[in-house]
């Protein structure tokens, strides 16, 4: 069983809809991540938060808006998406990646949200 929980597991939305993905981790980690994985493609890092502070935005379009209210919760707000945004969206957590002592800490992934934009 994963210590990182994502909801919903599946989401179908139209291009004019607004929806949010939710992620919660119960591992006591301080860093949380959003990744996107399109079919048959490698993982693409979207956002990183360390101690609730956004430390990386990997040139993600503004139609994706992250929110990290505390170290245990992470949201991805979606609006006016395009069909090419259909993908598996994965949340992950780890120890604070800026701390050298945490460098051996691996990522723990949630089950992902499979998003389809129609």
Partner 1 sequence: RKEVEQDPGPFNVPEGATVAFNCTYSNSASQSFFWYRQDCRKEPKLLMSVYSSGNEDGRFTAQLNRASQYISLLIRDSKLSDSATYLCVVRNQGGKLIFGQGTELSVKP
* Residues binding partner 1 (CB under 8 A): 2, 42-43, 45, 56, 88, 90, 94, 97-100, 102-104, 106-112, 114
The CB-of-20 to partner 1 minimum distance in angstroms stands at 19
The secondary structure of residue 17, as a DSSP letter, is -
Of 59 and 104, CB closest to partner 1: 104
Of 66 and 112, CB closest to partner 1: 112
Of 35 and 64, CB closest to partner 1: 35
**68/24 Cα distance (integer angstroms):** 10
The CB-of-82 to partner 1 minimum distance in angstroms stands at 22
**63/82 Cα distance (integer angstroms):** 9
The CB-of-113 to partner 1 minimum distance in angstroms stands at 10
Of 51 and 103, CB closest to partner 1: 103
26 with 72: CB under 8 angstroms?
A: yes
Q: Measured between alpha carbons, how far is residue 68 from residues 13, 47, 49, 75, 106 in Å?
A: 23, 11, 7, 6, 20
The CB-of-16 to partner 1 minimum distance in angstroms stands at 27
Other Cβ atoms less than 10 A from the Cβ of 102: the count is 15
SS3 28: coil
């Amino acid at each position: 069983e994963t210590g990182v929980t994502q909801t919903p597991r599946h989401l179908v939305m139209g291009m004019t809809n607004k929806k949010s993905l939710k992620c919660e981790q119960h591992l006591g980690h301080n860093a949380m991540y959003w990744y996107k994985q399109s079919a048959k493609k490698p993982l693409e890092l979207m956002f990183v938060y360390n101690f609730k502070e956004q430390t990386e935005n990997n040139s993600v379009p503004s139609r994706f808006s992250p929110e990290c209210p505390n170290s245990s919760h992470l949201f991805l707000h979606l609006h006016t998406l395009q069909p090419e945004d259909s993908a598996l969206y994965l949340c992950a957590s780890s120890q604070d990646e800026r701390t050298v002592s945490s460098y051996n800490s691996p990522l723990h992934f949630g089950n992902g949200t499979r998003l389809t934009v129609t």
